[in-house]
Amino acid sequence: MGIGAVMAVIGFWSEPRSLVVSEFEVVTSGWPQDTAPLRVAVLSDIHVDALHMPPERVRRIAEQVRALRPDVILLAGDYVGGHGLEAGPPRAARSRRSTQDNALHEEGLRALDDLNAPLGVYAVMGNHDCWWDCQRVREILADTRIHFLENQAARVIRPGGDVWIAGLEDGQTQRPDFQMATKTIPQGAATIALVHNPGLFDWASNVLPLQISGHSHAGQVRFPLIGAPVRVTRHTEDTADGWTSAGERLLIVTRGLGESGLPVRFGAPPQIMLLTISPGQHSMVKPVATYAPKTKR
């Protein structure tokens, strides 16, 4: 009983409120060899809620991300919370939630405007966002500095060689289209696919060299030996350490920041990813460091 009580305190209180920065060196053979390294901060699955992820914490995380001095910030979806019966449709819909709950989500979305990077902040939609209200998410983020991408590409212009961000619609609630998302990208250009669900890495139409995703939470609860009992994507386990590969193509998946279903994390602490992406002869991912983020508060 004592062990169970300790695990409950860790899982339902201390770990969801913790945060680590995980740094990786990423080498991709799919980028032109003269492309300069790009420093990228990745956030996903913020899941704003009143318990572990109020808007004030979103602002504090934004401050911590700015202190990392990334060139670019990528947001991989699921900004709206979904605990208990709100974890999926139809009760997840904005029309079915309380005025107080919806106001909290909207304030959390607006808090994302505190994120800033020299080369921009780019975002895609997640399934929870569309279960709530896709259009309202678009409206709120339109008033921020965030570049919202839905089957679109954004060109990141810089002296060290341009990089393109191809942002895909969510695979559960929208219609992802890799051909549409990449139609403006020159052949052979340095490209990152920003996709909420890691499962789209396996689509035949996805030939991009590097995909960055969230969604899995690394299972959200993980135990030694058995891993995650609940797996929302087939890439939950093979990306539990942050990445997997298929030939020279790379899939990088963050554990995210918030929770869905139950407000619990165990063995999968909230994570900011910091990637240094460079070209090379062979694709690879190398862990560099894991540490607590700095904050002034």
Whose tokens are 């030996």? That residue is: 225
Three-class secondary structure assignment of 13-29: HHCCCCCEEEEEEEEEC
Residue 198 · residue 213 · CB < 8 Å: yes
Chain centroid to CA 158: how far? 24
Task: State the Cα–Cα distance between residues 265 and 14, nearest whole angstrom.
Answer: 9
- Total length of the chain: 297
How many CB atoms lie under 10 A from the CB of residue 32?
Answer: 11
Which DSSP category does 10 fall into? I
Please give the helix or strand (H or E) that residue 290 lies within, else none.
strand 284-291
Helices (H), 73-187: 99-111, 127-142, 178-182
The per-residue pLDDT for 296 is 66
Rounded to 10 degrees, the C-alpha dihedral 286/69/272/172 comes to -100
According to DSSP, the β-strands at 38-43 and 72-75 are: parallel
Residue 114 · residue 59 · CB < 8 Å: yes
Radius of gyration (C-alpha) of the chain in whole angstroms = 18
Amino acid (one-letter) located at 46 = I
Residue 61 · residue 118 · CB < 8 Å: no
The per-residue pLDDT for 214 is 98
Task: State the Cα–Cα distance between residues 197 and 91, nearest whole angstrom.
Answer: 21
SS3 content of the chain, % helix, strand, coil (to 5): 25, 25, 45
Q: One digit per residue, pLDDT tens: the chain, 297 residues?
A: 777 777 788 998 899 999 999 999 999 999 999 999 999 999 999 999 999 999 999 999 999 999 999 999 999 999 999 998 888 999 999 999 999 999 999 999 999 999 999 999 999 999 999 999 999 999 999 999 999 999 999 999 999 999 999 999 999 999 999 999 999 999 999 999 999 999 999 999 999 999 999 999 999 999 998 999 999 999 999 999 999 999 999 999 999 999 999 999 999 999 999 999 999 999 999 999 999 998 765
Task: State the Cα–Cα distance between residues 156 and 167, nearest whole angstrom.
Answer: 13
Q: Mapping DSSP to helix (H, G, I), strand (E, B) and coil, where does residue 87 land?
A: helix
